[in-house]
Structure formats: C-alpha cells, structure tokens
Amino acid sequence: MLLTVYDTGTQTIMKSSAKPYPHTTIRQRLAVYDPRAVLFEQLQPLLTGAGTTLLSNAIVAVIVAAVMHAPEQAALARSWAVVCIAVVALSAICFWVVKTRFATPERRVAASWIMTTASAARGMTWGAGFMLLMPTASSYEQIMLGWAIAGLMCGGAFSTWSLPAAAAVFAGFAGLGGFLGMVRTPGVGETWMPYAVPVLFVFLMRAVMVSVNVLRQRVLAEKQLLSKNDVISLLLRDFEENASDWLWETDRHGCLQRGADRFARVLELSVDKVAQNSLLKLSEIFCNEESDNTGIREKLLAGDSFSNQIVCFSIGSLDRYLKLSAKPLHDHEGKLSGWHGVASDVTDERLADLKVRKMALFDTLTELPNRAFFYDRLDATLQAKSAIPSWVMYLDLDGFKAVNDTFGHATGDQLLRAVAVRLAGCLPAKGMLARLGGDEFSVICSGVKSRIDDYANRITASLTTPFTVGKHEINIGVSMGVTQVLDGIHCRDELMRRADVALYAAKHRGRGQVRYYDEDLDSSQQRRRDIEAALRVALAQEQFVLHYQPIIEIQTGRTYAYEALLRLQTAELGSVPPDEFIPIAEESGLISDIGDWVIRKACRDATRWPNDVCVAVNVSPLQLQTHRILAVVTSALADSGLQPSRLELELTENALVENVEHTTRILSDLKSLGIRLALDDFGTGYSSLSHLHQFNFDKIKIDRSFVQSFGNRRESAAVVNAVVHLARDLGITMTAEGVETVQHLDAMREAGCDHVQGYLLGRPEALSSEDIQNKREPQKSA
C-alpha cells in the first residue's frame, strides 16, 4: 500500500493508492482474512435473539404436549415436553455461559461449537418428538404437528441464521425427525408430504447462506475500513509526532482540541495550561515587547483564514516562534465552530534570521544601532509630524585618536564600549543612540531646546569623567553638533549635513563644545569646502604660486635668503590667505602633497639664484609625523641639485610637542642631510627655550608681535633681549620678523638680531630668478 502525504498549506491530506478491495468472492476475501475472522460477528445476532428463540421453543413444546390429550399419547407427549423444556433450559445455560464467558473474539470458535451443539440438541429433541408422536396422532394433531415441523424449521433456521452450522443442525435434525415421523404415519407416508420437508430444508439453508454471506461481506468491509482508518491514523499520528509540522484544531472558543500536546511540548508548558486558554489568549499572555502578534489576533477575531503567520510566544527568558496556518470551521448554521490548521516550530530559523538582521542593524562592538538602523529611524522621524521638536545630535570624541595611538586598538575598543554604556545611560526616554563608526555617535531625541541643553551637558559631564580601561585611566571629552528636525527639511542627508556642520564648528572652538546648527555656520563651511576643492584643483593642475620675501643680514644689508610663501588664487575665490587655506589643507590631509610641492619648487627656484642666497621653506607639523619628509627633501635636493646648506626649513613649536621622540629623530635625520632648521614664530606657541637645546635648531625667528610691540611693551623687549642672549650663547642665528618701520629695524639692530624680515625690507612677491639676480645690490642698510 503506497501512501502519499502532501501539504496543501492549511491541511494535510493523506491519499491511499490501494484499491478498495480487489477480491471479488467471499471465499477469496476469506482467504485474505482468517475464515474465522468474522465468526465473532456471526455469533452476535444469535446471542441477541437467544432468549426469544428458547422461549418460543418452550412454548411450542408446552402447546404440543397440551394438544396431545389422547390417553395413549398424553404420557409420551408430556414426557417429551419435559425433556424438550430441559434441553431448552440447558441451551439457555449454554447461551448464558457463551454470553458471559465466551463472548470474546479469541473464544469465538469455542462459542460457535457450544451454540451449534445446543442447536443440535434442540433439533434432535424436536426431531425425536416428531418421529414418536406423529404416527399415533389424530389427523387434526397431524396437521398441527406438520405446522410445528415447518414452523420450527423456519423459526430455528432464522433465529440461528448467522451461524449456518447451528441453523443446519437444528433444522436438519428437526426436519429429519419430522420426515421419518411422516413416512411412518399411515396415510401420510405414502403421499408427497414427507418430501416437502427436505425441500424446505434446502430452501432454508439457501436463504441462510445468502444472509450469512451478506453479513460476512458487511463485516469484512467494516473491518477493512477500520484497518484502513487504523493505518491512516497510525501514519497521521506518526507524522504529527515526528514531523516538524503538526495539525491542530480548536473548539469554537479557540481552545485547542487537538495538537495541544505538541504546542505544550514546544512552548514548554503543561498540556492543561495550553488547552485551557484560547489561542488568542495564549498569544496575548505570552507576548513580549518586541513580538508583534497583532496580525494573528486580528485574523482570529475576524474569523478569517490565515497562512504562515509567525507568532512569538515569550515564556520566561525563552522566545519561541510558531508558524501557524488555519481555516475557520463553520457549523450548519454558518456560525464559527472552531479552527483547524497546521503549526510548525520555526524558532531556530527565526532566531538565525533575527541574528542576521541584528548583525545588519547593530554595531558589533558596542551593540548599539548602526548607521543603517539610525538612518531608518531618522527617515521615520522626518515623516512623523510631532508637536514636540525633534533633534539630531552628532557626537565626536575628543582625544580618542591619541588613546588609540598610545594604548592600542584593543584599549580603544574597550573605551568605545564603555563610552556606549555611559551614553546609553544618559539617553532620554524614546531617544535613539547609534554608533555611526569610529568614535562618532549620534542621537535622535525630542524635547524643547532647554531639555536638549541639559541632555548635552549630561553627556559632556558623563564622558569627561575619567574612564578606567584595564590598568589605564583615560581622559577624553566629546564635541557635539546639534540640529533640529524642521518641517522644511525633507531628507536625512540634509539633517546629517547640518549636524556635521555644527559638529565641525564645535570642534573648531576647542574640546568639549556643543554647537547648534545655524545658517552662518553653513556659509563658513561652504567656504571651507570651496577652499578644499580649490586646493585639490590647484594641486592637480599645479596652480599654486610661491611668493618670496627677502631675509636680510642686518649688519651687511645683504639678502641672506628668501622665504617661500605659498599663494592660492582662483577665479571664484580670488586670493585666499595661507592662514586660511593652510589649516584646511592640514585638516583635509592635503598638506603633505602641497608641502612636497612647495619644497621641490623652492629648491628648483633657488638653484637659479646667486649661490650665497638661501631659500627658507615652511613645514607644517603634520609633515613631520611621517618619515616621508626625509625622502622628499632628499629627492628635492637631488633633483634640483641645490646645495643642502642653502635650504632652511621653518618649523613652528607646535610641531615639537607631540611624539617628541619621533620628532627628534626626524629632525636630526633632516639635519644630517646638511640643511638648516629654523624655529618659526617663536614666542607665540609653547615658547619653551628648552626646545632650542633639545632639537638643535640653527635659527630662531622671533614672532612679529614682539618686534612690533618692542618699543611700547617692556615684556616684549625683555623676551627679545633674553632670546638674543640665549641664541648668542648657543651659537644660534636670530631673525626678527615683521620689521615694518625704521624704528623696528633700529631696535632689532640694537637688540643684536642677526637677520631681519618685514615689509620695510621687502614684501612677499612673485619674484623670478632675474628679479632676484637684479636685487643683488645691498638693501637699505643701517
């Protein structure tokens, strides 16, 4: 038998390919089953009708005995009746025994033997009676006996029809007795009448066999159906127990009538608990904040069929996901009478799916929402119309890079995790905190501006409290740019741009600042972006120009050197001062490439100048952070053929404060090339005289602010005098910048400066080599 099981979504149907019953005759059918298989069922009608049969037997015996009143017969008839009643009584006992003791399928053969024997005994009794009483009976009695023979044969055969053997022996013995009695009776024996008895017997047996065949067929068909149902339910049970899907059914209240055990097993609840509550109630009781079971609830309430609905049951710390499909059932009046459907446990798939989704939406390091998730929320915030203003905050940690550089990335990661925890602790209700990458975080929150101020202050206070990571105590800070979600803004990019603009401005103000976006910030940043773009173009297309400003020997008036000063001029922006574009070049990382270009160009230009004129080139602190400067200077000198002693690099003091060891090494390597180093803008930065010793400078350029206030501020004069003395002690040359007037010049000469530079002696100009050659004549000297 081949069984196919297929799923139609809501119902599982089992289809048997076996033919209903291939055999045609009862014999063949019985060959398939044990011939005694239906015996038990054959006994049942016999046992049911036994009482009536026996009672009628007894009554007929009494009537016969009463009718036979002729003196020669009366005694025989009564004796016979007594025997007959005794046999009937014995039969009754047999039947009772069979009914109580043998009425089981296992004992059916014995039972049939007992029943057949009892029938044979009664048949023999009646046969004997007919045989003895008939010959001496009156003709009236003979008629009565004739009817009794026929009646008993018919009654007996039909009362025992379901057991043909019993019917045959009863009717056979009774009929035989009747036949012999008739044959022995004068006037009857000669006629055809005795022969009617065997004919009647044959007809009766034929009728009995037909009836019993019908009974057997019916029983076999039932048995076959039952066994088929057994197989189906067996397979169904097996399927339900072992397959991941199972069938379920509820009553009209939605309480599970079938499948509750599987629900209970999967949900780790008791079967009672599952079966006592409706599905609707279960989905409500065991629902967590994240699971959304509203879909199925609506369907159940509306009485609509549903398919593949995922329902989350949250029991304790355990989340279980079931996939349910079902159809409503209706009674004959069309009212909802229940549900039936299929369920499967999809917890594992669902959890895997959730994990993948989590990975796509959450940052693995801090477990905070990531940029993608944050943007989704931002889009939703933009679309939602709320009376309470919403805000986007863009946070950037101050000093995080130094932590990474100093303590390594593992410590940096731990710090980021700790920062995420503190930030989450500050987050207002319904706010969203995300890590956008690196040390950048962002928050969406709502409230009036004063509340956002408070919140920002809380964040600042929280993050400026020192962190303990491993053995290190780490101090960082945070800068924040804040922008409001306004009606006019339709896209998140614009919001993020505004927050970024505000953050940039905050960073520019120094550490730990909070800035709100306004349009002025926007225009200043626009200019910044324009300058950055112009720098890129100028670099790519060599549009930069170097202006040269002379540095004069104060004693001789000879031009000692020219300082190369970079100029950026574009059609759109006009002339952009270096004080504005150099910081932008530094922030955008362009300074290295620009600086390289300046060194090479200055070296090339200087080769066309008189041999005793040097070139001074400004170097950004950022250029010193890698070893690249060494290679660049080396190749610039080699390519141009400039003598190293004619190249002077000017560095400001802020180039010296970070990573001292590395800087010392780079500077000494540079010096070993044979070039000179000048400390620029002395007096404006950290102004540490120790730098002069430490870094082995050849020259100090004292900042123009000292020169210009020399006459009016006593401290300025004191600083200049002190530096001059120190420089002289160390054998370092001293240059005064910003000499604009003759008074400045006199004062510097008097103070003992070696070189002077300033508008008085020459402005920075686009000087060709010819111009420089022509300017050989001594400048205005003292």
- Kindly list the residues in this chain that would bind Ca ion in the complex (CB under 5 A): 618, 650, 680-681, 737
Q: Is residue 542 at the binding interface for ligand C2E, with CB under 6 A as the rule? A: no
Q: Decide if residue 648 touches ligand C2E (CB under 6 A).
A: no
Nearest of 592, 464, 453, 460 to residue 535 by alpha carbon: 592
**CB-CB contact of 111 with 50 (8 Å):** no
CB contact at 8 A, 107 and 134: no
Do β-strands 647-652 and 676-682 pair in parallel, antiparallel, or remain unpaired? parallel
Name the residue among 204, 189, 196 with its Cα closest to residue 156: 204
Q: How far apart are CA 515 and CA 396, in angstroms?
A: 12
**Of Ca ion, ligand C2E, none, which one does residue 582 interact with (CB within 5 to 8 Å by kind)?**
ligand C2E
CB of 567 to ligand C2E, least distance (A): 8
Cβ neighbors of 572 (< 8 A, separation 6 or more) are 530, 534
Among 54, 94, 463, 565, binds ligand C2E (CB under 6 A): 565
Instruction: By CB under 6 A, name the one of 204, 342, 582, 675 that touches ligand C2E.
Output: 582
Query: Which partner from the list Ca ion, ligand C2E, none does 759 bind, CB cut-off 5 to 8 Å by kind?
Result: ligand C2E
Nearer to ligand C2E, 255 or 619 (CB): 619
**Which residue among 124, 503, 566, 568 contacts ligand C2E (CB under 6 A)?**
566
125 binds, among Ca ion, ligand C2E, none (CB under 5 to 8 A by kind): none
Q: Which residue has the closest beta carbon to Ca ion?
A: 650
Rounded CA separation 772/776 (Å):
7
Cβ-based nearer residue to ligand C2E, 33 or 759: 759
Partners of 479 in beta bridges? 396
Nearest approach, Cβ of 650 to Ca ion (angstroms)? 4
Question: Counting contacts by CB under 6 A, is residue 579 touching ligand C2E?
Answer: yes
Q: Which is nearer to ligand C2E, 246 or 581 (CB)?
A: 581
User: What is the closest distance, in whole angstroms, from the C-beta atom of residue 545 to ligand C2E in the complex?
Assistant: 11
In terms of DSSP bridges, do strands 318-330 and 306-315 run parallel, antiparallel, or are they unpaired? antiparallel
Residue 550 touches ligand C2E, criterion: CB under 6 A? no
Q: Residue 568 phi/psi, 5° resolution?
A: -125, 125
Binding track, positions 662-701, relative to ligand C2E; x by CB under 6 A: ------------------xx--------------------
Q: Which of Ca ion, ligand C2E, none binds 500 (CB below 5-8 Å, type-dependent)? A: none
Contacting residue, 91, 370, 513, 549, with ligand C2E by CB under 6 A: 549
Asked whether 727 and 700 are in contact (CB, 8 A), the reply is yes
Nearest approach, Cβ of residue 684 and Ca ion (Å): 8
Residue with smaller CB distance to ligand C2E, 504 or 581: 581
User: For residue 322, what are its two tokens?
Assistant: 């079931």
Q: Collapse the DSSP code of 84 into the 3-class scheme (helix H, G, I; strand E, B; otherwise coil) and give the result.
A: helix
- If the CB atoms of residues 398 and 681 are measured against Ca ion, the closer one turns out to be 681
How many Å apart are CA 642 and CA 614, to the nearest integer? Answer: 10
- Long-range pairs of 222-230 with CB within 8 A, sequence gap ≥ 24: 223/33, 223/37, 223/38, 224/21, 228/16, 228/18
- Min CB(576)–ligand C2E separation in Å: 10
Nearest approach, Cβ of residue 653 and ligand C2E (Å): 12
Q: How many residues bind ligand C2E (CB under 6 A)?
A: 24
Separation CA 776–CA 758 (nearest Å)? 18
Stretch that binds ligand C2E, among 89-97, 410-418, 450-458, 613-621 (CB under 6 A): 613-621
* Binding at 439: pick from Ca ion, ligand C2E, none (beta carbon under 5-8 Å per type): none
Q: Which does 41 bind (CB under 5 to 8 A by kind): Ca ion, ligand C2E, none?
A: none
Burial status of residue 83 (CB atoms within 10 A of its CB: 0-12, 13-18, 19 or more): middle
CA-based end-to-end distance of the chain:
124
Strands ordered across the beta sheet of 390-398: 432-437, 440-446, 390-398, 477-485, 514-516
Please state the length of the chain: 782
**The tokens of 718 are what?**
């004191």
530 binds, among Ca ion, ligand C2E, none (CB under 5 to 8 A by kind): none
Identify which range of 209-217, 401-409, 455-463, 618-626 contacts ligand C2E by CB under 6 A.
618-626
Q: What is the C-alpha to C-alpha distance for residues 564 and 547, in angstroms, rounded to an integer?
A: 6
Interface of this chain with ligand C2E, residues 129 to 188, rule: CB under 6 A: none
The answer to whether 578 contacts ligand C2E (rule: CB under 6 A) is yes
Could you give the CA distance from residue 420 to residue 251 in angstroms, rounded to a whole number?
Answer: 51
State the nearest-atom distance from the C-beta of 359 to ligand C2E, in Å: 45
CB of 528 to Ca ion, least distance (A): 23
Per-residue string for binding with ligand C2E, 735-764, x by CB under 6 A? ---xxx----------------xxx----x
Stretch that binds ligand C2E, among 200-208, 476-484, 685-693, 732-740 (CB under 6 A): 732-740
Give CA angle at 327 (326, 328), nearest 5°. 125
Tokens of 143: 């008629």
Which residue, among 684, 629, 690, 616, has the nearest Cα to 662 in the 3D structure? 629
By CB under 6 A, name the binding residues for ligand C2E: 549, 564-566, 577-579, 582, 595, 598, 618-620, 650, 680-681, 704, 738-740, 757-759, 764
